[in-house]
Amino acid sequence: MKEAYIVTSLRTPGCRRGKGAFAQTRPEDLLKTVINEVVEQTGLEKQAVEDIMVGCSFPEAEQGLNIGRVISQMCGFPDTTTGATVNRFCSSGLEAIALQAMRIKSGMCDVAIGGGIESMTIVPMGGNLPRPHPQMVKENADVYISMGATAENVANRYNVTREMQDEFAYHSQMKAANAKQKNLYKELVPTPATKWVEDAEGSWAPKTWNQDFDDGIRENTTMEGLGKLRPAFAANGSVTAGNSSQTTDGAAATLIMSEEAVKKYNVKPIARLAYYTVTGVRADEMGVGPAYAIPKLMRETGMKLEDVGIFEVNEAFASQAIYCLQQMGMYDEKSLWTSDSDKRIVNVNGGAIALGHPLGCTGAKLCSQLMTEMQARGVKWGVESMCIGGGMGAAGLFELME
């Protein structure tokens, strides 16, 4: 079996739903920017790319109509460059990368792009016209359950307190604030943002600028401020807007090549995708997914957690992220994840609580962040993982190339 190499992995900024820089920017335009930049930074001719696969959690409206194929045309790829869209909810972006890697490993392809897109402003959570099956609702409504409700379930069932969640959220914000200040997000592509503005005569015209930072980071976050927020999903709950991931707009893309293509185009790979796995868990506590997916990843690769030098564990909610770290023995050792520790290896530059969780984009976004930090630290093995709506977990293992 061939190897599949990550050559270039980039992302747009993550910007807040409704109030952020991308609220009036079409998702196709976000994706177009990052895909074009991936190809340009690699120094590749577009005709070399055989296929583009895009992860999207709600592939409809502006991000529908098989955006994988649409975007190949928008970006000026030749007709021979094909495209597809894949949906595994929160791991859709990683699923797209993994599927492209599998195609390369099997010899079906040599050069491909895997990525993700989600405009949570333009296409609402749940889509524009959700239609759950009435019989399924009677028999197993949990498959349609609110993600916030699952976060409350995890907190209640596994004794994750409000104070623990707020502390975790605080450190996520501080890590992100530090990374932003020190310009550590090397994978971030300045991306055109558009806003329609009315002039004095009542005419509307688009105003465009380059957005070059994640606009959801709250540098002034305090424990006191987090403690004042009301529960968001249950009257007496502990899950708040402050200790949950931000709903966000963004896109990310990764260029993947076979060894033959790496040599042919004379490029230096960052890493190889060593393994990818998914697992199923109870839908009403879907957040526990990484606590099962990462150990499964270790078992199937014959590795141990201590072999891994850096983790990106998506912070859908602080409650579930904490539980997953607890199960892996990585929570109580706070130096592994706190902002004031130079030994941290979990979400080292902040997670989705600070940077946002643009659903179908997140898996691809985390890949780009992981590649940046693996290179910066010279870490041999890195893992990204996330929980998935409906009751699943996913995890990918990457090996840094010399």
DSSP strand pairing (51-55 vs 82-86) = parallel
Choosing from 56, 75, 324, 387, the catalytic residue is: 387
DSSP assignment of 169-216, as one string? HHHHHHHHHHHHHTT--TTBPPEEEEEEEE-TTS-EEEEEEEE-S-TT
Kindly write down the DSSP assignment for every residue of 318-357, as one continuous string: HHHHHHHHHHTT-SSSGGGT-TT-TT--BSTT--HHHH--
**Does residue 319 contact residue 154 with C-beta atoms inside 8 Å?**
yes
What's the token pair of residue 109?
A: 């392809």
Model pLDDT, residue 1: 87
Domain range for residue 358? 134-186+273-396
Say what the pLDDT of residue 199 is. 84
User: Can you tell me the distance from the alpha carbon of 346 to that of 337, in angstroms, rounded to the nearest whole number?
Assistant: 5
Is a pLDDT exceeding 90 seen at residue 51?
yes
Residues 309 and 286 occupy one common structural domain: yes
| Domain-located, residue 241 | no
164 has a pLDDT exceeding 90:
yes
How big is the CA angle at 105 (ends 101 and 106), to the nearest 5 degrees? 120
Residue 35 has pLDDT above 90, yes or no: yes
User: Can you tell me the mean pLDDT for 326-351?
Assistant: 97
| CATH number reported for the structural domain that contains residue 176 in this entry | 3.40.47.10
Q: Is the dihedral of CA 322, 214, 390, 387 positive or negative?
A: negative
Residue 75 belongs to some domain of the structure: yes
Say if 38 falls within a structural domain.
yes
Q: For the residues 254-268, what does the mean pLDDT come to? A: 98
228 in a domain, yes or no? no
CA-to-CA separations, 270 to 138, 273, 374, 381, 397, in angstroms, rounded = 49, 10, 9, 12, 13
Q: How confident is the model at residue 198 (pLDDT cuts 50, 70, 90)?
A: confident
| Residue 398: pLDDT over 90 | yes
Tell me if 314 is assigned to some domain: yes
Q: Quote the CA–CA distance of 99 and 112 in Å, as a whole number.
A: 10
For residue 201, the model assigns a pLDDT of 85
Question: Known catalytic residue: 56?
Answer: no
pLDDT score recorded for residue 277 = 98
> Domain check: are 26 and 139 in the same one?
no
Average predicted confidence (pLDDT) for the chain: 97
Question: Looking at residue 182, what is its pLDDT?
Answer: 98
Task: Say if residues 276 and 395 touch (Cβ distance below 8 Å).
Answer: yes
**Residues 29, 40: one domain?**
yes
Does 163 lie in the same domain as 75?
Answer: no
* 111 plus 198 within the same structural domain: yes
Quick one: 326 and 260 in the same domain?
no
Answer yes or no: 387 catalytic.
yes
Which residue in 15, 75, 90, 324 is the catalytic one?
90
Give 204-231 pLDDT, tens digit per residue.
Answer: 999 999 999 999 999 999 999 999 999 9
Give me the residues paired with residue 10 across strands: 253
58 near 123, Cβ under 8 Å? yes
The pLDDT assigned to 200 comes to 83
Flag whether pLDDT at 159 surpasses 90: yes
- 140-163 mean pLDDT: 96
Candidate list 109, 171, 324, 357, residue with the active-site label: 357
8 Cβ contact partners less than 8 Å away, ≥ 6 residues apart? 38, 41, 42, 254, 255, 270
**Closest among 386, 347, 354 to 369, alpha carbons compared:** 347
**Torsions phi, psi of 219, nearest 5?**
-65, -25
Mean pLDDT of the region 301-323: 98
**296 and 347 co-located in one domain:** yes
Q: What are phi and psi of 198, to 5 degrees?
A: -90, 135
Q: pLDDT at position 123, please?
A: 97
Query: Do 307 and 264 fall into the same domain?
Result: no
- Percent of the chain's residues with pLDDT above 90: 98
- What pLDDT score was predicted for residue 187? 98
Comparing CA positions, the residue from 327, 289, 319, 305 lying closest to residue 383 is 305
pTM, full prediction? 0.98
Which two tokens mark 362?
Answer: 């997140």
Quick one: pLDDT at residue 190? 98
Estimate to the nearest angstrom the gap between the alpha carbon of 321 and the chain centroid: 14
Do 173 and 312 belong to one domain? yes
In three-state secondary structure terms, 238 is coil
pLDDT for 204: 93
Do 266 and 280 share a domain, yes or no?
no
Give bridge partners of residue 258 from the DSSP assignment: 4
pLDDT at site 202 = 87
Residue 347 domain flag: yes
Number of H helices, E strands in the chain: 12, 12
Are 169 and 258 in the same domain? no
Percentage of residues in the chain having pLDDT higher than 70: 100
Mean pLDDT of 108-132: 97
Instruction: Say yes or no to pLDDT of 175 above 90.
Output: yes
The identity of residue 368, as a single letter, is: S
Statement to judge: residues 37 and 168 lie in one domain? no
**How many domains does the chain divide into?**
2
